[in-house]
Structure 1
């Protein structure tokens, strides 16, 4: 689940003041590896704005999970495509399809932020980014197809019957002229209503708002 976690923290005035103070320190004051994720999220909150509170919250939650995957290997080289794939796999069908629609629309802005900010993080050994350019729409259309089957079939025996061709055919139904057709996605997903599986009140409210978006609104 894209948890409330750090998202809730960066919303508080106290946290924002703390982050701002940290950003104003000379670059010579290196941060530790353990602080990289918080540092980047702080930079994101201070420098980025979406088109709505819902978009802002969605992107901050996604970035938090993305950074969790990126920092888990404790490496100085981050492969953006692999990390993004891992993030989608981690989130999977715990969010409605509208979550992925927001990511597609905001990806250029987010990737530009990562390409600019990650190598500039003041750590002892700068972080390098690999595979900075890739087809985000292809990754997401594939994940949407996988998520549909994950939701449709609950048991391992059922999931074992799914073939690569099944995934490919569903992907094709989502895409036209290299663009994801969200109306098509909505129609397919209408066969498996989204179920919220968290007790966190803030996360529930966020998921309900996301799930209420119509294709023309994403």
Structure 2
């Protein structure tokens, strides 16, 4: 499997400790564009993250950090933040830098995270204000993740396939309109995952913790 790479290094979990909630939430105040990620991650941790198991919270924070990087790359004048488009681009960038359990955690938490971004995005204190558009329905999230997992698998095996074969692989990872995590585990586990993050780092521990999760930990 691929190494954690830049994704693991991009985590801003530690920066949450430096998040100055009081100053940034003063009435009528706006924040600088380069503070958007810290602000939103701080809001998520305060309202959602602290209610979740540590590994789950860290996973969504890291996904959210990458998602916000996608949003900011679109530019300050891009007032419409498309959940579907940004999520698709974000997962493509993350790819195989994480074990399959990352995607399983994301699927279980996506609905709650999307409600958060739908609520908090429009009141983000920047100018111009953001609009949250193109939300993902539950079935669409499952399909999106299944397709990314198929791409990840093909990237690892480096097997030339046709578009039709890729579509068939996506279908094989779905059971109705839900990802079949038993099938995903059966395909990815034998390939292994190489955790090359610094051994004393939070990222190394997080990736190890993710890999201890099994199919039984996720609702099918």
State the TM-score, normalizing by the size of structure 2.
Answer: 0.88
Q: Aligned equivalents of 1:92 and 1:46: distance in 2?
A: 28
Q: Aligned equivalents of 1:206 and 1:137: distance in 2?
A: 24
Q: Aligned equivalents of 2:63 and 2:105: distance in 1?
A: 10
Matched, 1:194 2:199: no
Q: Aligned equivalents of 2:166 and 2:8: distance in 1?
A: 24
Q: Is the 8 A contact 1:2 1:62 kept in 2?
A: no
1:8 counterpart residue number: 14
- Mapping of residues 61-100 of structure 1, within 5 Å: 61-74=62-75, 75-100=78-103
Unaligned runs of 5+ in 2: 1-6
User: 1:59 and 1:151, CA in 2 relative to 1: closer, same or farther beyond 3 A?
Assistant: same
1:143 counterpart residue number: 148
Equivalent pairs counted in the alignment come to: 206
1:102 counterpart residue number: 105
Q: Aligned equivalents of 2:9 and 2:217: distance in 1?
A: 24
Instruction: Tell me the CA shift for residue 4 of structure 1.
Output: 5.5
User: 1:6 and 1:20, CA in 2 relative to 1: closer, same or farther beyond 3 A?
Assistant: farther
Where 2:81 maps in the other structure, the secondary structure is strand
Q: Is the 8 A contact 1:77 1:130 kept in 2?
A: yes
Instruction: Tell me the CA shift for residue 169 of structure 1.
Output: 1.6
Q: Aligned equivalents of 1:5 and 1:184: distance in 2?
A: 29
1:162 counterpart residue number: 161
Greater relative CO (CA pairs within 8 A, separation 6+): 2
Q: Aligned equivalents of 1:81 and 1:141: distance in 2?
A: 14
> In the TM superposition, what whole-angstrom CA distance separates every residue of 1:158-207 from its partner, at most 9, and x where no partner exists?
5xx22212221211111112111111110111231112243362211111
State the TM-score, normalizing by the size of structure 1.
Answer: 0.88
Q: Which runs of 4+ in 1 moved over 6 A?
A: none
Q: Aligned equivalents of 2:169 and 2:190: distance in 1?
A: 14
Q: Is the 8 A contact 2:24 2:30 kept in 1?
A: no
Match of 1:132 among 131, 135, 141: 135
